[in-house]
Amino acid sequence: MRSERDYVAGLYARLDAERARVKGGYTAALRGTGGTPMERDDEVRALAKEAKRLDVADSGLCFGRLDTLSGEHSYVGRIGLFDQDNEYEPVLLDWRAPASRAFYVATAASPENMRRRRQFHTRGRRVVDFTDEVLGRPGDAERGDAALLAAVNAPRGEGMRDIVATIQAEQDEIIRLDHPGVLVIEGGPGTGKTVVALHRVAYLLYTQRERMERHGVLVVGPNPAFLNHIGRVLPSLGESDVVFTTTGGLVPGLRVTAEDTPEAVRLKGSLKILDVLSAAIADRQRLPEQPLPIDLGDTTVRIDAETAEWARDEARASGLPHNEARTVFTEILTYVLTERAIARIGRGWLTRSDREAWEQMRADLLRELAVDDAFTAALDELWPVLTPETLLAPLYASEERLRAAGADPALSRAVGDAWTVSDVPLLDELVDLLGRDKATDRAAEQAADRERKAEAEYAAGAMDLLVDRKDSMDDEDHLFATDLLYGEDLADRFVEQDTRELVERAAADRDWTYRHVVVDEAQELSEMDWRVLMRRCPGRSFTVVGDLAQRRSAAGATSWGAMLEPYVPGRWVYRSLTVNYRTPAEIMSVAAAVLAEFAPDVQPPESVRACGVQPWSRLVTEDELSAAIEEFTRAEAGREGTSVVIGPPDVPGAVAASETKGLEFDAVLVVAPERILADGPRGAAELYVALTRATQRLGILHQGPLPSALTVLTETGATHESAHA
């Protein structure tokens, strides 16, 4: 024990020394004046990132040791450390390194040329104990589970923990899978599919860092609570170039404020909505009911239906997006109007043979048209510049426009711009269908230039003040001033490049593309959602996580192939996780009975443990319900860990089952399972989700008869405290 403690203490000494070295380099880079501002900025960013990586390694730096058959041994930990005095010999293997794989996959039957695996139990920086597994003895247990059981039985905290010290063989195989396309990981509740996907991201960033880190990784989850729950895992593994969002956040700046009906969700999620969007755009490309008069030169010309139709046909035939095709539409109209005006103005004295005079008159008339309010108004009426929002909001709010676009009346709503999650892929699609408005883009670029110049002037002014202060300092204070960047360098940083972190830049840019995308609860995504995500990742590198049995959305996936094959034909692979690490056997048997009723062909995951506490149910009246919920809450407040009440929207203090997807709690109280089950065709999936959130204790309060699948529960009339203390 002493030798192991000393070795791990030595590793921490190396970690501290490496931190000091990086911190010193960071400080020097901030003070440096060599190279360009961009080069110095890149160096500062790289050192800051390295400092973060070293900081997260402090907890659980080294968690195990491998001994080979030849007597050599190596230590495995959260990051890699090297002996700089001995040709950079590794003194601690990164868990992602190929040499570490045996730590996770070696078994008694397949020892991977290893003799022993040792797992450390630590408190802070000190090794307090370890567990040894002797490998290569047929008939021995496949793998010791002391560390695993300690982890899964531990009370839950506020967020998901990494599993770097307890990755199991089936999980490790998926994490290290070398597949360039789409990997689908399916598993029932508690199988660890989310945390496996996140560790796979860390592994890919380790093995393909140069390719991936400049563009980053996108992680898409079902709701903000879930993203908050998983948000610490990748930073704890030293990876920070990751954007976390829901499908509702895929259009930067959009605020989702409403919720669609299930029928509207189904309609908007189908690829058939593309025809509606195209028709809605075409409906805004109009012909005048009456000729529109335009005063041009000394005459009046008119935009009639025939002329507008010719211009419209040419613009549509160009194949350009709507806003860009407006240029073609405008060119045809200006050609016709100027020709007519010239013919009238020059009647009797101007002929086409007088080319120079003809072209001069045309140029004059074109300048006049460019500033003519009536002509601009006519263009805006016949071929308006549209944004996704200004097309979609009026469409939803107008039954007439919906009919013209061939849309289902179920899409109608009173407030057109009350955006929902299901609107996001439509708005995103419209960015490409409508195209950019060049005039607006130019105005935005000019505004950005003005802002950058103002920032540069501010930076230069700030440095002038510092220089004045330096001049007034004593010699002993001069070091402070000379450590600072020169004013022109600071100004150059504002002018030459975007100084925001990658995550901030990527999240704000609709056109940003990622090297890899993780999609969790992927069974809920619609066909239109997948179009958005495929645009975000042209390389089609995905880790897709889900469970078809838990699908609730009417627009969600019924098979992985149906969703993925159109985009990555032959480039997606499927892997499943079968062991439930979260839900104890006592609770999983109840959930499995519900699963058997609505998805009899689906095999529930096998729980790795039992907790010794039986789930219970209790019949309550309306008057007793609030007191029973308070009783549960009060009892759990006195325990270590987390708890939640899940129920219908009108239950005080309860959250919907859909809001707890991917989350886990030590104790769960499910209220009114009979009402959850009756809530639409996917109510059974909702109840299944609710029942599988608990890691230790499950209770149920019901007012009506229990659903048949739950009749196996022990019915109690006692209070929660007295029955389950």
For 646, the 3-state DSSP assignment is strand
Scan for tokens 């060049």, then name that residue: 438
Tokens standing for 528?
């239109």
Distance CA 272, CA 526 (A): 12
Alpha carbon 182 to its chain centroid, in Å, reads 16
Tokens standing for 409?
């009346």
Q: Which residues contact 376 (CB under 8 A, 6 or more apart)?
A: none
Task: Provide φ and ψ at 386, rounded to 5°.
Answer: -120, 145
**Other CB atoms within 10 A of residue 666 CB:** 19
**Other CB atoms within 10 A of residue 461 CB:** 12
Cα angle, residue 699 at apex, residues 696 and 704 outer, rounded to 5°: 160
Q: Is 189 left (phi over 0), alpha (psi -120 to 50) or beta?
A: beta
CA dihedral 168, 219, 190, 164 (to 10 degrees): 30
Distance CA 189, CA 581 (A): 9
Burial class (CB in 10 A: 0-12, 13-18, 19+), 709: buried
Task: Provide φ and ψ at 643, rounded to 5°.
Answer: -150, 165
Residues forming the annotated binding site? 187-194
Distance CA 146, CA 648 (A): 39
Which DSSP string corresponds to 484-504?
Answer: SPPHHHHHHHHHHS--S-HHH
The single-letter DSSP state of residue 655 is: B
Distance CA 380, CA 371 (A): 14
Strands (E), 124-203: 126-134, 182-187
Distance CA 272, CA 274 (A): 5
Scan for tokens 């096998």, then name that residue: 606
Distance CA 158, CA 176 (A): 28
Distance CA 657, CA 193 (A): 19
Distance CA 633, CA 216 (A): 41
Q: Is 521 left (phi over 0), alpha (psi -120 to 50) or beta?
A: left
Residues forming the annotated binding site for ATP? 187-194
Distance CA 718, CA 148 (A): 34
Yes or no: say if 594 and 709 are a contact pair by the CB < 8 Å rule: yes
Strands (E), 191-256: 217-221, 242-246
